[in-house]
Amino acid sequence: MRQALAKDPQKIFNYIQLTPVRKEGIVGYAVKPGADRSLFDVSGFREGDIAIALNQQDFTDPRAMIALMRQLPSMDSIQLTVLRKGARHDISIALR
């Protein structure tokens, strides 16, 4: 898995899926396992997690998210901040 992500960080979406959560606009992204749920399980994600930030950048700003996705290939790791039952949790994922 790490080798696949090192070659192509965009493959992270084979392991986790992000679906917009809306309440008068986007409030975050529901994090769900992808076709291969190994990264989801190993990283500590749980069903119901809502991603609100990536590398401390607001995930609800579409322009910021597009910029972050463009930077993904050059990143060694990412940190997703998720809301879980009202509490914030930071989850780090090594890409290389």
More confident residue, 85 or 3: 85
| Domain interval for residue 70 | 2-94
Give the pLDDT band of residue 2 (cuts 50, 70, 90).
Answer: low
Domain count across the chain: 1
Hey, what long-range contacts does 69-74 have (CB within 8 A, 24 or more apart)? 72/9, 72/10, 72/12, 73/8, 73/9, 73/10
pLDDT at 11: 77
Supply the CATH number for residue 26's domain.
Answer: 2.30.42.10
Q: Say how far apart CA 22 and CA 39 lie, in whole Å.
A: 25
More confident residue, 33 or 93: 33
- In angstroms, how far is CA 91 from the centroid of its own chain? 9
What integer is the mean pLDDT of 22-45? 90
Q: What does the chain come to in residues?
A: 96
